[in-house]
C-alpha cells in the first residue's frame, strides 16, 4: 500500500500533467514554455520512478488511484484528467522505468489533444500511434468493440454528477469567496436564470470563452441598474479572478479593457461608470496581485509585457500589493517586471510608494529607491533623505545615485555627509553624484575634499575618482588648481604625493589641457613608475586625442 510520501508525489505528478495539458495547448512546440513544461513533468516522473518503481494507476470516471488511494479527483468535465482517459476506455495506465523524455513528450501531447474539435480522435488512438515502449495501458474491450454510445453516456453521467449550478457556478462562485484584504465587492452566487443564459451563449463558442463571456456580462451590466447592476459587477469581478487564478492573463487584460471602455463611455450612466471602478479595485486587491506574482515567478506568463498591459488599468490602490510581492518574488525577470509596474503606478502616488522605504528587507528598500530614480520626481528627495542613513551600504549607495540624478540644493548636504561614509564605494558614489549635479557648490565641495589633510592617505583609486569628477568642470579655475597639484611635493610620504600628481595628470589629460604639456613632459621622466605612466598617457590624450 502506498505510503503518504508516495501519495503526495503522485498528486504532484497529476498536477504537473494538468499544467502540461494547459501549456501544450496554449504554446507552440518551439516555444520555451512548451519545452520547459515537458522537462518539468519528465523530471517529476523520473523522481517517482527512481524512488518507487513503475507508476501504476487505475482510472475511474472522476478519480485516479495509486494503489487504493486517490491522487486525483474532480467532477469537472474540462481539465478532468481522469474523465479524459476514462471516457475513451482507459482503465489502467503505467509509466515504467526506462521512460525516455521523447516518450514523456508524446504522452503529454496525447492527453493535451483538443478532443472538442469534432474529429474522430481519441486518447487510445493517439497512444497507439506513438507506439510507446514504457507507457502501458489497459483498455476496456467492451468500450472498444461493443458499446458505441459509451462516450456519450459517460459524458452524460459526468454532467449529471456535477453540482446543481454546474461548471460556471463553480468557476465564478467558489473562486470569488469573500476576501478581507480586498476593499471591493463581496462575491455572491449567480442566479439560476443568469446561469442558464450564460451557458447558452458560451456553448456557441468553442474557443477561449472569457472574451465572449465578458461581452455578455458588460451588455447585461449596461442594461441593468440597482441591485441587478451590482450583481453583474460581481460577475465581472468573478470572471476576472477566474482568469488570473488560471493564468489566463491575456483574458484578464481583455476584461479590464472592456471595463475601462465602458467606464469611459459617455453614453453609460454616470452612476454606473463610477461603480465600474469596483472592477479595477478588485483587480488591484492583494490576493489577485499575489497570484499575478506567482504566475510571473513560474515563467508561464510568456510575454512579460502583458503584465504592463494589466497594470495600465490599475490605480494607486495597487501600489502596496505590488510592494508586498516585490519582496517575495524569486526570479530576477519577475522582479524587473514588478519594478517596471511600480514605476508606472508610483507616478500616481509617490507617498504610497514611499511606504516601501520602511520595509525591513534591504533589497526591497533599494528597489524602491531605484523606482524613484526611474520616475525622476524631485518630490522623492524628502523621503530619500532618511534612507541615506540606512544600515546597508547598498541602500546608501542607491540613495546617493538617486540624489545625483534628481539634483537640487536639497540634496547637497546629504551628499557631502556621504563623503565621510565608512565605505569607500559610498564615498566615490557621492563624488560622482556631485559631478552630475555640476553646480558651483558641488565643485567647491570636491575641491575642498581634495585639499583636506586626510585626502592624501586615501586609496589611489579613490583619489583618482575624485580628480576625474573634478575634470568635468573644464574651466580656468580648475585648470589652475590641477596644475598646482602637478607641482606638489613633500620630502616625507613622497609616494603618496606622487599619487596626487598622477591623478592631476590624469584629469588634465581628460580635459585636453595643452597648457599642462610642459609639466607633463617633465613628469614623464619621473622615476616613480605610476607617475611616469599617467603623465605619458595624459600627453598622448592631449596631443593625439588617444
* Residue 30: strand, helix, or coil: coil
What pLDDT was estimated at residue 119?
62
Quick one: average pLDDT of 61-84? 87
Give the residues across from 94 on adjacent strands: 56, 136
Q: For the chain, give percent helix, strand, coil, nearest 5.
A: 70, 5, 25
Q: Is residue 535 predicted with pLDDT exceeding 90?
A: yes
Pairing state between β 90-95 and 135-139:
antiparallel
More confident residue, 90 or 150: 90
Quick one: average pLDDT of 244-258? 89
**pLDDT grade for 121, boundaries at 50, 70 and 90:** confident
Q: Is residue 461 predicted with pLDDT exceeding 90?
A: yes
Burial 473-508 (b: 16+ CB within 10 A, else e): beeeebbebbeebbeeeeeeeeeebbbbbbbbbbbb
**Total residues found in the chain within this entry:** 546
Residue 217 Cα distances to 258, 297, 314, angstroms: 10, 31, 20
What pLDDT was estimated at residue 116?
67
**pLDDT grade for 159, boundaries at 50, 70 and 90:** very low
Q: Is residue 440 predicted with pLDDT exceeding 70?
A: yes
Q: Which of 182-191, 204-213, 411-420, 528-537 has the lowest mean pLDDT?
A: 182-191
Percent of the chain with pLDDT over 70: 85
What pLDDT was estimated at residue 91?
92
Where do the domains of the chain lie, and which CATH numbers do they carry? 4-160 (no CATH), 165-283 (no CATH), 457-546 (1.25.10)
Q: Is residue 79 predicted with pLDDT exceeding 80?
A: no
DSSP state of 376: T
What pLDDT was estimated at residue 205?
47
Percent of the chain with pLDDT over 90: 52
Answer yes or no: are the C-beta atoms of 244 and 237 closer than 8 Å. no
**Among 274, 217, 277, which Cα is nearest to 243's?**
217
**Among 213, 232, 211, 231, which Cα is nearest to 221's?**
232
Q: Which of 145-149, 237-241, 329-333 has the lowest mean pLDDT?
A: 145-149
**pLDDT grade for 397, boundaries at 50, 70 and 90:** very high
Q: Which grid coordinates are listed for 546?
A: 588617444
pLDDT in tens, 194-232: 545 554 554 444 345 677 777 777 777 777 777 777 888
Q: Is residue 41 predicted with pLDDT exceeding 50?
A: yes
What pLDDT was estimated at residue 149?
47
* Cα 236 to Cα 154: distance, rounded to the nearest angstrom: 33
**pLDDT grade for 491, boundaries at 50, 70 and 90:** low
Number of H helices and E strands in the chain, helices first, is: 30, 5
Quick one: average pLDDT of 461-472? 94
What pLDDT was estimated at residue 178?
38
pLDDT in tens, 309-361: 999 999 999 999 999 999 899 888 899 999 999 999 999 999 999 999 999 99
Cβ-in-10-Å burial (0-12, 13-18, 19+) of 326 comes to buried
What pLDDT was estimated at residue 449?
94
More confident residue, 116 or 520: 520
What pLDDT was estimated at residue 413?
92
pTM for the model: 0.59
Sequence-separated (6 or more) residues with CB below 8 Å from residue 45: 13, 55, 95, 99, 104
Burial 113-136 (b: 16+ CB within 10 A, else e): bebeeeeeebbbebbeebebebbe
What pLDDT was estimated at residue 356?
93
**pLDDT grade for 74, boundaries at 50, 70 and 90:** confident
**pLDDT grade for 118, boundaries at 50, 70 and 90:** low
More confident residue, 175 or 409: 409
Answer yes or no: are the C-beta atoms of 27 and 302 closer than 8 Å. yes
Quick one: average pLDDT of 407-411? 83
**pLDDT grade for 499, boundaries at 50, 70 and 90:** very high
Mean pLDDT taken over the chain: 84
What pLDDT was estimated at residue 174?
46
Q: Is residue 285 predicted with pLDDT exceeding 60?
A: yes
Amino acid at each position: 500500500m502506498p505510503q503518504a510520501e508516495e501519495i503526495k508525489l503522485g498528486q504532484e505528478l497529476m498536477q504537473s500533467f494538468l499544467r502540461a495539458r494547459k501549456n501544450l495547448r496554449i504554446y507552440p512546440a518551439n516555444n520555451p514554455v512548451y519545452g520547459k513544461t515537458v522537462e518539468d513533468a519528465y523530471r517529476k516522473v523520473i523522481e517517482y520512478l527512481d524512488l518507487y518503481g513503475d507508476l501504476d494507476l487505475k482510472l475511474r470516471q472522476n478519480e485516479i488511484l495509486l494503489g487504493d488511494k486517490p491522487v486525483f479527483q474532480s467532477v469537472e468535465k474540462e481539465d478532468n484528467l481522469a474523465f479524459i482517459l476514462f471516457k475513451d476506455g482507459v482503465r489502467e495506465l503505467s509509466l515504467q522505468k526506462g521512460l525516455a523524455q521523447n516518450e514523456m513528450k508524446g504522452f503529454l501531447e496525447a492527453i493535451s489533444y483538443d478532443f472538442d474539435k469534432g474529429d474522430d480522435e481519441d486518447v487510445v488512438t493517439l497512444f497507439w500511434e506513438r507506439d510507446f515502449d514504457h507507457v502501458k495501458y489497459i483498455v476496456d474491450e467492451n468500450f472498444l468493440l461493443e458499446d458505441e454510445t459509451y462516450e456519450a453516456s459517460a459524458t452524460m453521467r459526468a454532467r449529471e454528477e456535477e453540482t446543481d449550478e454546474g461548471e460556471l457556478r463553480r468557476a465564478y462562485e467558489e473562486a470569488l469567496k469573500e476576501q478581507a484584504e480586498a476593499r471591493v465587492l463581496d462575491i455572491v452566487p449567480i442566479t439560476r436564470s443568469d446561469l442558464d443564459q450564460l451557458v447558452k451563449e458560451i456553448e456557441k463558442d468553442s474557443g477561449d470563452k472569457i472574451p465572449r463571456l465578458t461581452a455578455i456580462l458588460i451588455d447585461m451590466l449596461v442594461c441593468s441598474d440597482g441591485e441587478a447592476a451590482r450583481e453583474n459587477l460581481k460577475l465581472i469581478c468573478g470572471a476576472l479572478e477566474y482568469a488570473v487564478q488560471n493564468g489566463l492573463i491575456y483574458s484578464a487584460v481583455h476584461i479590464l479593457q472592456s471595463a475601462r471602455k465602458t467606464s469611459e463611455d459617455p453614453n453609460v450612466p454616470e452612476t454606473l461608470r463610477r461603480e465600474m471602478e469596483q472592477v479595477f479595485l478588485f483587480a488591484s486587491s492583494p490576493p489577485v496581485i499575489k497570484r499575478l506574482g506567482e504566475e510571473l515567478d513560474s515563467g508561464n506568463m510568456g510575454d512579460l509585457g502583458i503584465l504592463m498591459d494589466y497594470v495600465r488599468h490599475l490605480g494607486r490602490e495597487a501600489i502596496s500589493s505590488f510592494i508586498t510581492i516585490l519582496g517575495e518574488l524569486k526570479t530576477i525577470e519577475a522582479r524587473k517586471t514588478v519594478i517596471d509596474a511600480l514605476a508606472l503606478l508610483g507616478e500616481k502616488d509617490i507617498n504610497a510608494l514611499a511606504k516601501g522605504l520602511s520595509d525591513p528587507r534591504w533589497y526591497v528598500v533599494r528597489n524602491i529607491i531605484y523606482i524613484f530614480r526611474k520616475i525622476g520626481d524631485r518630490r522623492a528627495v524628502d523621503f530619500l533623505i532618511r534612507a541615506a542613513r540606512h544600515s546597508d551600504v547598498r541602500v546608501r549607495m542607491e540613495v546617493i545615485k538617486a540624489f545625483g540624478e534628481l539634483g537640487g540644493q536639497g540634496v547637497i548636504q546629504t551628499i557631502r555627509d556621504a563623503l565621510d561614509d565608512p565605505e569607500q564605494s559610498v564615498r566615490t558614489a557621492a563624488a560622482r553624484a556631485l559631478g552630475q549635479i555640476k553646480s558651483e557648490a558641488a565643485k567647491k565641495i570636491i575641491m575642498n575634499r581634495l585639499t583636506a589633510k586626510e585626502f592624501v592617505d586615501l586609496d589611489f583609486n579613490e583619489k583618482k575618482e575624485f580628480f576625474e569628477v573634478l575634470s568635468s568642470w573644464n574651466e580656468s579655475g580648475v585648470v589652475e588648481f590641477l596644475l598646482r597639484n602637478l607641482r606638489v611635493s613633500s620630502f616625507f610620504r613622497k609616494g603618496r604625493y606622487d599619487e596626487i600628481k598622477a591623478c592631476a595628470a590624469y584629469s588634465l589629460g581628460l580635459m585636453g589641457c595643452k597648457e599642462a604639456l610642459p609639466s607633463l613632459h617633465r613628469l614623464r621622466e619621473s622615476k616613480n613608475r605610476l607617475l611616469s605612466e599617467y603623465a605619458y598617457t595624459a600627453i598622448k590624450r592631449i596631443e593625439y586625442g588617444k
